[in-house]
Amino acid sequence: MFSGSVLGKIADHESVGKNFSEIMSNLLLQSGDDIDSWSDQNSNMVLILELAKSLNSQVAEGQASAVNTLHEVLNRLYSLDFEIPKDSQSGPHSSYTLRAIQSILEKGAMDHLENTVTNLEVSIPRKLSGSEAVKIIKDVIHAHGAFDHPYYKTTLREHANIEDLKYYFAQEITVDPRFDDLIANLQVGLRGIAKMELAHNYWDEMGNGEPSEVHTDLFKRATDALGICEKSLGQNLSFESILCGNVSVLLACRRDNFYRGAGYFGAMEYLVPIRMDHVLHCWKRNKLPSDAIRYHEVHMSVDEQHSEGWFKNVIEKAVDENPACFAEILEGVIWRLETSMWYLDMLESRSSALTA
C-alpha cells in the first residue's frame, strides 16, 4: 500500500488538485478492502474527504484546473460502474471510501453546472399541462445554438477528413457506447407507460434482440472502419467530452436527479437525427465503407420516434401528474444544450486551428 504522507500537503492551496489526483490514482489501483483499511487508519478517511471538499471549493471559485481534476477523477470512478470485476474481492469496486468521495465530487459537479450554465428566460404558464411543457422544451431547443451547431452542419458535413472523423468518434465514446446502460439506469423505479417507453428505447439499443444489430457493436464497426485502436480509445479525451459523459452518468444513475435526467436525455434524443445526417454525409463524402455506418443510419430513423415517445410518455406524463417537476426537467434540457455547446465549440475550435 502507498504512503499517506502526501495527505499532509492538504493545506497547500495551490496543490490540492494535484495531491487529490495523485492519491486517487493510487487508490484506484488497490482492492476495495485495502482502500477501506487504509482509510480507517490515522484519520485518512477524514483527510481524503476534506481534500475532496477543498477541490470542490476551488471549483466553486471558478478555478479551471480544479474543474478539470474533478471531472477527470469522477470519470475514473464512473468507469467502475460500467465494468464487471472478475470477482467481488478484486479491484476497487466495493470500497465505501470511494463511494463517499464520489458523492462529494458529484455535489461539486452539480454546483458547478448550476453556477455556470446560462439561465434562459422562459415564460412558464401558472397552470402548466404536459403538452405545454413539451412545447416549451422544443422551443428552447430550437432557439439554442447547440440545435444545429456549425460544427455539424458545416465543418463536419462539408470539410472534415478521415482524421477529423477519428477524433470526433473517439470523443463520442463517453456517451454513445454506454447509452444502453444509461437508459437501463434511468428507468429504475419507473412504472407504467414511462417505463415501457424507456424499455422500448433500450430494446432498440439491443438491436431488438438481434445480436448483430446491438448498437454498441454497431458503433464499434464504425470505429474499426476508421482504424481507431480500441486500446487508444479514452486516452486522449477532451475535458468537454469527459464532462458530457460524467453529466450523463450523474443524471441517469442517481434517483434524485431523475427529472433532470428525463429532460437531459429527452433533449439528447431530439437532437440526434439531424446530427446523424451530417455525420452520414461526411462519412459518404470521405468514401468510407457504407456497411460500417449503420449505427448512425439506425439512429436517424429510430431516434425521431424515441424523442416523440419520450416527450409524450415520460415528460408530458410526469408534468401532468406533478407540474412542479417541470423546473428540474427544463434544467436538465438546458444542461444538455449548454454542455453540448461547450463540447461542439471545442470541436469547432480544434478544427479551425488545424486548418488555419
Q: How many domains would you assign to the chain?
A: 2
Could you tell me the pLDDT band of residue 10, with boundaries at 50, 70 and 90? very low
Q: How does 331-355 read in b/e, with b if 16+ C-beta sit within 10 Å?
A: bbbbbbbbbbbbbbbbbbebbeeee
Q: Is the pLDDT of residue 193 over 70?
A: yes
Q: Are residues 112 and 134 in the same domain?
A: no
Same domain as 151, residue 85: no
Rg (CA), the chain: 21
> What per-residue confidence (pLDDT) applies to 235?
73
Asked whether the predicted pLDDT for residue 13 surpasses 60, the reply is no
- In this structure, are 26 and 142 located in the same domain? no
Residues 230 and 90 in one domain: no
User: Looking at the domain assignment, is residue 205 inside a domain?
Assistant: yes
Q: What is the pLDDT of residue 73?
A: 97
Q: How confident is the model at residue 191 (pLDDT cuts 50, 70, 90)?
A: very high
Q: How far apart are CA 243 and CA 102, in angstroms?
A: 15
Residues 343 and 209 in one domain: yes
In a domain, 296, yes or no: yes
Are 137 and 18 in the same domain? no
**Whole-angstrom distance, CA of residue 132 vs CA of residue 351:** 39
In a domain, 182, yes or no: yes
Do residues 264 and 336 make contact, with C-beta atoms less than 8 angstroms apart?
Answer: yes
Quote the pLDDT of residue 353: 59
Look at residue 231 and tell me whether its pLDDT is greater than 80.
Answer: no
pLDDT band of 135, cuts 50, 70, 90: very high
Residues comprising the chain, all counted = 356
pLDDT at 246: 97
User: Is residue 165, in this structure, part of any structural domain at all?
Assistant: yes
| Whether 36 and 164 share a structural domain | no
pLDDT at 125: 80
Q: Same domain for 105 and 250?
A: no
Mean pLDDT comparison of 24-28, 38-42, 262-266, highest-scoring range: 262-266
Band (pLDDT 50/70/90 cuts) for residue 295 is confident
How large a percentage of the chain has pLDDT more than 90? 74
Residues 141, 241: one domain? yes
For the segment 21-40, the average pLDDT, to the nearest whole number, is 93
Confidence of residue 355 (pLDDT cuts 50, 70, 90): low
Higher pLDDT, 200 or 233: 200
Please state whether the predicted TM-score (pTM) of the whole model is above 0.75.
yes
Residue 50 lies in a domain: yes
Q: Are residues 175 and 301 in the same domain?
A: yes
Mean pLDDT of 111-115: 93
Q: Is residue 122 in a domain?
A: no
CB 306 within 8 A of CB 265: no
The CATH number that applies at residue 201 is 1.20.910.10
Domain boundary among the residues 78, 93, 116 is at 116
- Are 150 and 21 contained in the same domain? no
Chosen domain end from 92, 116, 140: 116
Would residue 125 count as lying in a domain? no
The answer as to whether 123 is a domain residue is no
Q: How far is CA 161 from the centre of its chain?
A: 26
**Grid cell of 185 as nine digits:** 439506469
Residues 175 and 37 both lie in one domain: no
> What domain range includes position 336?
130-355
